[in-house]
Structure 1
Amino acid sequence: MGYAPLTLQEVARRIREALTDPEGGEADAWRPIREFLDDFRAAAPEVRQAMIEARPEPTGDPRFEAYLAALAEHLAVHHGLRVPRWVEEPGRFLDRWWFPTRFRSLHAMALVESPAAFRRRGIFVDHTELERC
């Protein structure tokens, strides 16, 4: 059996495992996202839709629920794919803004640079967040 690229469903499962692992945590939850971005970039165009299409199960953290939806929407829009329906679910939006960086000095830049799919969910990232794709 050959290599299969990560899907957002698998990413969500790995995030959930990292967040519930007493030795893991939020820092480890970012690893599958980075791996997914690498896989997405390397995937053939006809494979990319399948990587974002299936609804990810809950991760246990509303911030990551919104982040995965933003990521799927952003990638779909920028790569000419269908935006999956699950990205519009109410649980895929945050009530409070989230800056997934520990550096407050980057917040102003993130407010300006964050892609629309992230901003509309209350997530603010700088331009380097998605450079891997």
Structure 2
Amino acid sequence: MDAAPAYAPMSLADLGAHLAGASDDDHRWRLLAEFLEEFRWAPPGERLHLLSAAPPSTQDRRWDVLLAALAEHLAAREGRAAPAWADGKILEQFWFPFNTDAARVDAFVHAPAAFRSRGVFLAARELEVA
């Protein structure tokens, strides 16, 4: 009998590949939540490795920039700089993924710096996994 492969947490590159194949934004947000949960449970010494490889294009510039912002944000929480592949990824027009009046105000006030500086306005609480 073949042994089951060892578990490996999803990397940001894996997430990018999954996002490219996602059918809609609801599916993309579920995939992002799964990545964040796996990142949270990864041993601290392995977390930066999950961010190191550049993700493939998601076929949506907004999501590509969101991944760069996420890599910078998570690396900063680990006391490190963003991976080099994330440099220069910025939207020319602001994006509010949750586009209601209340969500826009919340995101404008509470978006982490890595997201704001790239034009992605997402409240920090949207990155929390239950």
TM value normalised by structure 2: 0.91
Paired AA for residue 66 in structure 1: V
Who is 2:59 aligned against? 60
**C-alpha displacement at 1:82, in angstroms?**
4.0
Who is 1:107 aligned against? 104
Structure-to-structure mapping, 1:8-87, within 5 angstroms: 8-18=12-22, 24-87=23-86
1:46-103 CA distance string (max 9 Å, x none) = 11011000011111000001100000000001112342001113xx210110111142
Matches of 1:126 and 1:73 in 2, distance apart?
Answer: 15
Higher helix share: 1
Paired AA for residue 115 in structure 1: P
1:11-45 CA distance string (max 9 Å, x none) = 00100001xxxxx2122112221111000100001
Cα RMSD after superposing both structures = 1.4
Corresponding residue pairs, total: 126
* Gapped regions of structure 1 (runs ≥ 5): 19-23
Q: Which runs of 4+ in 1 moved over 4 A?
A: none
Percentage identity across aligned positions?
A: 39
**C-alpha displacement at 1:132, in angstroms?**
2.4
Structure exhibiting the larger radius of gyration computed from Cα positions: 2
TM value normalised by structure 1: 0.89
